[in-house]
Amino acid sequence: MPSIDAARRRVRLSDAHLGVLGLLVDEGRLPDELMGAREELRTAGILDADDRISPDLYPLVATLMEPRVIVRAEISGPQGTTRSGAVIGDDFLFTHENWPGDAESEYVPAEPETLVWVLARMVDLHRDFTGEADSAEVIDSTLGTFDDVVARMEAGGHEEPQAVAEAAGAPVRLAEVLAELNCMWRMTAVWRAPGGKPEDPEGAVRSLAVWDCGVEGYWLRERPAEPVLDGQVDASSELRVRRTTAKELWQLITNLLPDGTELAGPPTADTSS
């Protein structure tokens, strides 16, 4: 169920709830499949009986309707995949996070100076506690071999990494590292660059993909290079991961975000008439 905490300016909403709010702002007709979500918003006090949106949500709705930058963080772990991120507008910045299995995400206002810290926390970026965190070790394989190793490990049993590697024809180090896998995460920033079309707000993209492997440390996936588009890779595609550090990942997260020169200007009124 959606909910709002006016004192802390936070709100829990699902994609369906966002769809309702967007259509109401655009004065569009709600399809039947969103009627239940509308009733939930009314029950939560986010909409009144006339479908007017609570004033507390105006900053969030305005930011979602006209974002300047969108950051997505997709984290895949034992409990499934969660999707979090941030939406940056001209006047406001909101971050959002969800728990495994929850339909709703919690949207919270944030200050620009805290954004990198919040994004790092979303993916549980933490200090390295291993003695070889700066080794810059590289593992080369293929995506098909990677999938085979993961499938054998998920199938159960208690095979040693070396046995899994031999059965999959994989490097032993790949199996050893994946045996300690906590989660994989991908972070992507999208925005409209100068000269981009208003109807194409995601013209520019930067992304990185990381394995969090516990005692085996962090591994940055260098190949296939992010961003990876649908249909761009297959089982024969090269896989390369490099051991990295939390310090480097902090800088890479920072580098994902565009500076002012990379952003298209805000929409301007049409004065041609």
Distance CA 47, CA 229 (A): 38
pLDDT at 133 over 60: no
Report the predicted TM-score, pTM, of the whole model to 2 decimal places: 0.90
What's residue 132's pLDDT?
A: 53
**Residues of the chain with pLDDT > 90: what percent?**
79
Pairing of strands 218-223, 93-97: unpaired
DSSP state letter for 189: E
* Residue-level pLDDT at 147: 96
Quick one: pLDDT band at residue 90, thresholds 50, 70, 90? very high
Q: Could you report the per-residue pLDDT of 14-29, keeping only the tens digit for each?
A: 999 999 999 999 888 8
- The reported pLDDT for the residue numbered 269 is 46
Residue tagged 């962090």 (tokens): 218
Is pLDDT above 70 for 53? yes
**Residue 219 and residue 211 in contact, taking contact as beta carbons nearer than 8 Å:** yes
The predicted model gives 78-99 an average pLDDT of 95
The tens digit of pLDDT for each residue in 147-158 reads: 999 999 988 767
Choice among 43-47, 103-107, 145-149, 154-158 with the minimum mean pLDDT: 154-158
List, in sequence order, every residue forming a beta bridge with 81; answer none if it has no partner: 76
70 compared with 193, residue with greater pLDDT: 70
Domain ranges of the chain: 3-118, 138-262
How high does pLDDT run on average in the chain?
Answer: 90
| C-alpha 224 chain-centroid distance | 18
- Tokens found for residue 145: 């071999």
pLDDT of residue 94: 97
- In the predicted model, what is the mean pLDDT of residues 156-185? 93
Q: Mean pLDDT across the stretch 75-88?
A: 95
Q: What is the mean pLDDT of residues 30-57?
A: 94
Q: What does the alpha-carbon distance between residue 87 and residue 105 come to, in Å, rounded to a whole number? A: 13
Using the predicted structure, report yes or no on whether residue 252 has a pLDDT greater than 70: yes
272 confidence band (pLDDT: 50, 70, 90): very low
- Does residue 271 carry a pLDDT above 60? no
Quick check: 178 pLDDT over 50?
A: yes
